[in-house]
Amino acid sequence: MRIEITRSGGVGGMTRTWSLEVSRAEAEERWLPLAEAEAGPGKGMQDAGPPDPARDRFTYRITVGYTEVSVPESRLGEPWRELIERAREAGRARPAPGPGEGSGPTTAAGDGTPEELL
């Protein structure tokens, strides 16, 4: 089963996405119950309590199957940290899609020099 983790925020505001394949048994026994508990009543971002005084922290969106949760960095427990580290180590880190993804910069010179640098 595919687990996807998207980290956003921080000083630069950059978004990163990692994915990890785990066995269906591992997902159902370990990660799905954790995600469902996080998504339960009183656990949403709106119920997270007072704002975190550290404004430049990350927020993680974690998707396990059809369950998606959003967890602020200040509330990441050890199981989530382990999962995030495993996904990062899987080596499939990529920038999140942005406007015009795949189009790349336009080139006026025909030699690959981006137009804005000419």
77: buried, middle or exposed (CB in 10 Å: 19+, 13-18, 0-12)? exposed
- The residue with greater pLDDT, 46 or 5, is 5
- Of 56, 78, 63, nearest to 32 (Cα)? 63
Tally of CB atoms within 10 A around 71: 21
pTM for the whole structure: 0.65
How does residue 10 score in pLDDT terms, banded at 50, 70 and 90?
Answer: confident
75 and 44 Cβ atoms separated by less than 8 Å: no
56 has a pLDDT exceeding 60? yes
pLDDT in tens, 68-89: 999 999 888 889 999 999 999 9
Which pLDDT does position 118 carry in this prediction? 45
- Of 68, 21, 90, nearest to 59 (Cα)? 68
